[in-house]
Structure 1
Amino acid sequence: MNTLKVSGLDQIMFAETQLSLVDGEAGRLVVRGYDIERISGSLHFSEALHLLWLGRLPHREEHLVLEKKLGQRRVDVFPRLDALPDGPENSMDFLRYALASLDLNQDDIWEQSLTLCAATAVACAIWSCRHQGRQALPPDATATQGEDFLRMVLGHQPDAASVRALESYWITVMDHGMNASTFTARVVASTGSDLVSAVVAGIGALKGPLHGGAPGPVLDMLSAVGHPDQARAWLEAELQAGRRIMGMGHRIYRVRDPRAAVLETAIDRLEKSGVRSPRLTLARAVEQAAAELLQQRYPDRPLKANVEFYTAVLLDAIGLSAPLFSACFAIGRVAGWCAHVDEQRKFGRLVRPQSSYVGPLGLTLE
């Protein structure tokens, strides 16, 4: 009997891209020519949008115009999104439902992309407020994306360090090679479909626990461990029971995910500014113990901390709740999806891979 084998498209080169390079052996992520360590924490989110979409950093005036446009789009989409029924209990389901309701009337893809980036942040904030049992605050067109999002979610003006940390996170995750959700968005774009459809498809892929759904469980794991001294014993028990250690290992990286290091640095900056993370010391102890135990158990499979490990710690430190984590990831990643849709339209063709049929042949009806 034939056995169905699925490759997962490993090692298949689907497209050429100018957007980002993921070097799994060296542990390197390059976005538009810049190592992620150089731009995360140094740029505003809107500056990173300009870099990703147009291939260069903006001049000061261009940055101010882009920030103003992004703020106005948040204001413009808020009434429509706030009028939506409560709908799904899951933040990603609400985000998918909210963005699917949009009717983009701009012809230029970057104008459409701005609206989608603004709408993603607003929809996430609305869902979070409803989840907390309160009415969402209207957006402030004069604020940055990170500042406005945190103000809406937290219900008060955020401190500058938390805004910087959040925008650093969004920049860190906005593009990452041909990951599952980006590939999904490009497949939809390859059919000639619209940008909203491609982005909504990306959200569907990102919702999956094997792609963007692990930061919440990382927080659960840290809560279960409780204290750095208990990390090794707790992890040994999990491995003995055959359970996965959340936030460890990556499909591409054979060394520590560079984004984990970037986010750990962002948390350090938060702490130095006075915003204490109650879980940073614990997270470092768990990471060290997990890396050692996994190396012993799987010597031929490098399993190091990935981006989701310190995502959980950072987002928790700035006051966001675990049910919002995946949707918050999408606020950054939607920028990458939009850039890939544009690239697919310009240089790609209809995506139509082949499959190998391994089922029966020549069956007859009795």
Structure 2
Amino acid sequence: MTEQGDRESASAANTPAYAGRRLTTRETAELLGVKPETVYAYVSRGQLSSRRDPGGRGSTFAAEEVAALARRNRRESSGSPATDGELAVRTRLTLIEDDRYYFRGVDATELAAHRSYEEVAEWLWTGELRPGVTFTAPKASATAARRAVDALPEHSGPLDRLRVAAIAASAADPLRFDLSEEAVLGTARTLIPTLVGALPPVLRSHRDSGPLADRLWARLSARTPDTASLHVLNTALGLLVDHDLAASTLAVRVAASARAHVYAAVSAGLGALEGPLHGAASALAHRLLLDVLDQGDAAPVIADELRAGRSIAGLGHRLYPGEDPRARVLFAILEDVPRAAPAIAAARDIVATAARHTPLHANVDLALAVFTVSYGMPSSAGETVFAVARTAGWIAHALEEYGERPLRMRPSGQYVGARPPQPLPG
């Protein structure tokens, strides 16, 4: 239906002929410009309420509710259109434009470079800056998360631990089903430190208080950090808070659309992040960088990757024709860290060597790899940083989605199988 048709349908439902009365399924379908079966799909998704007609066999619908649904459909269809058949979701959180990106209109790289991770998260959640804010884990949820994580096999990865910690923290929170903005924000401020605190520390002397970057460092490296190294980690966390509608973010919004509580929504994001095409990129870049440092030359390493038919980890990004601004900021900070000099040189060698095949810029995964390699962290460290950072963004998207109509993130399937009737098998 055209926009004009939508407008006419919405106004028709508000005309005196329809006002205050119940509409039949046929009338409702006509006013919405859909088939009758779609009307019942709206009912099943909670978008329309129906009542059995006592004088007939069908259902009836309130004209005012039909008009409201027509208006919502019109607003959604007039939003930013999808391109190339991709799903588009309106959001006020992050804008990516001209090789730059912004959090609520503010340059994200500037924000991350000058503010703590917690302050960046608060800005994304509320649009307000809270200087000096810190997040604290309640004792009950922290204890439940640690016990659950400690029960995992020793070879469990960081995402295994984070998922289990989120579930355990959820079970310890009897008020988790309160989806009001105030309650969700309260959960956000306690869930993130709970997740970090549940990860096993590798630094002997550590505290579970203070800035989140300090607490996370103790889970990534056995080396005592200095001010410069903590600044790099804090900036990386702030840069990675949110970044358009990545697969994990979409998973979170789908869960929130179904009114899953915030713990479950974050768990959905962690599940999607574990896919090798999403969360594993930083680990691949880490291993590539180690290989180049080991051989002293990127050429044979890149040759092996191309010979195996693999893309070069840490290069290029579909949203940035030019340089990834997150990588630019991290490399600039790492330039001032003497320990990072060999890894930076190896990363530059990778970019220059690969450019002979395909001219691509370094992305944030390669910058993260320089950081994790320089401090002797495991290959999974970048993935851990990414997951912890992005949790704040996932919660911001869940908050946005809770404000939309429920179950709107439910596309219709296009059946392409065998047409019925088919004989029973066997």
TM over 0.5: yes
Cα contact 2:283–2:379 (8 A) shared by 1: yes
- Alignment CA distance shift 1:225-1:156 (3 Å): closer
Equivalent positions of 1:41-190 (< 5 A) are 41-58=113-130, 63-64=131-132, 66-67=133-134, 70=135, 72-73=136-137, 77-84=141-148, 85-88=150-153, 89-103=156-170, 104=173, 105=175, 108-124=183-199, 126=200, 129=202, 139-141=207-209, 143-151=210-218, 153-154=220-221, 157-190=224-257
- Which residue identity does 1:221 align to in structure 2? L
Tell me, in whole angstroms, the C-alpha distance in 2 between the residues paired with 1:184 and 1:210.
15
Point out which structure has higher relative CO (alpha carbons under 8 A, 6+ apart).
1
CA distance in structure 1 between the aligned counterparts of 2:292 and 2:376, rounded to whole angstroms = 21
Q: Describe the shift of the 1:222–1:151 C-alpha distance in structure 2 as closer, same or farther (beyond 3 A).
A: closer
**Structure 2 unpaired stretches of 5+:** 1-81
- 2:352 is matched with 288
8 A Cα contact 2:207 2:215, kept in partner = yes
Aligned twin of 1:28: 100
Distance 1:99 1:281, change over 3 A: same
The letter of the residue matching 1:161 is: A
Q: State the Cα distance separating 1:263 from its structure 2 match.
A: 1.6
Amino acid at match of 2:317: H
The one-character-per-residue Cα deviations of 1:22-41 (angstroms, maximum 9, x if unpaired) are 23xx2221112122221222
SS at match of 2:357: helix
Pick which of 235-244 and 194-203 moved more. 235-244
Quote the offset at 1:50 in angstroms: 1.6
Q: Does the alignment pair 1:192 with 2:259? A: yes
Matches of 1:56 and 1:46 in 2, distance apart? 12
Secondary structure, aligned partner of 1:40: helix
Deviations 1:109-160 (A, max 9, x none): 1110011111222223x2x54xxxx9x877433x211112223554565211
From 104, 109, 118, the counterpart of 1:37: 109
Quote the Cα distance in structure 2 between the aligned partners of 1:75 and 1:164. 28
CA deviation map 1:31-70 (0-9, x unaligned): 1212222122211112112211111322xxxx33x31xx1
1:278 aligns with 2:353: no
Corresponding letter in the other structure for 2:236: Y
Give the one of 74, 88, 92 matched to 1:18: 92
Larger radius of gyration: 2
Pairing of 1:228-239 with structure 2 (within 5 A):
230-239=297-306
Instruction: Report if the CA contact (8 A) 1:228-1:282 is conserved.
Output: no
Q: Structure 1 residues 152 and 311, CA, compared in 2 at 3 Å: closer, same or farther?
A: closer
Q: 1:258 aligns with which of 303, 317, 325?
A: 325
* Paired position in structure 2 for 1:5: none
Secondary structure class of the residue paired with 2:101: strand
Q: Which of 382, 404, 410 does residue 352 from structure 1 map onto? A: 410
TM-score (norm 2): 0.71
State TM-score, norm by structure 1. 0.82
Distance 1:11 1:316 in 2: 39
Q: 1:342 aligns with which of 391, 399, 418?
A: 399
Matched residue of 1:30: which SS? strand
Match of 2:137, SS state, is: helix
Once superposed, which parts of structure 1, at least 4 consecutive aligned residues long, lie more than 6 Å away?
Answer: none
- Equivalence for 2:420: 362
SS at match of 2:336: helix
- 2:253 alignment partner, SS class: helix
- Unaligned 5+ segments in structure 1 are 1-7, 296-302
Asked if 1:315 is matched to 2:372, the reply is yes
RMSD of aligned C-alpha atoms?
Answer: 2.6
Kindly indicate whether the alpha-carbon contact (under 8 Å) linking 2:197 and 2:208 is maintained by their aligned counterparts in 1. Answer: no
For residues 147 and 294 of structure 2, the distance between their equivalents in structure 1, rounded to whole angstroms, comes to 44
Q: How much has 1:75 moved relative to structure 2?
A: 6.0
Shift of 1:100: 0.8
Task: Return 317-326 or 200-209, whichever deviates more.
Answer: 317-326
Paired residue type of 1:21 = L
Would the alpha carbon gap of residues 97 and 140 (structure 1) be closer, same or farther in structure 2, given more than 3 Å must change?
closer
| Equivalent pair of 2:145/2:195 in contact (CA under 8 Å) | no
**Percent of matched pairs sharing the same residue:** 29
Letter in 2 for 1:30: Y
Mapped partners of 2:392, 2:238: distance in 1: 9
Matched letter for residue 184 of structure 2: I
Between 185-194 and 276-285, the greater mean CA deviation after superposition: 276-285
Q: For the structure 1 residues 75 and 168, does the alpha-carbon distance in structure 2 shift closer, same or farther, using more than 3 Å as the test?
A: farther
Judged with a 3 Å threshold, the aligned counterparts in structure 2 of structure 1 residues 341 and 137 are, in CA distance, closer, same or farther, namely farther
Q: What is the deviation of 1:307?
A: 1.6
Amino acid at match of 2:108: I
Partner deviation per Cα, 1:229-255 (whole Å, 9 max, x = no partner)? 622343234223322211123233222
Question: How far apart are residue 10 of structure 1 and its match?
Answer: 5.1
Distance 1:264 1:193 in 2: 38
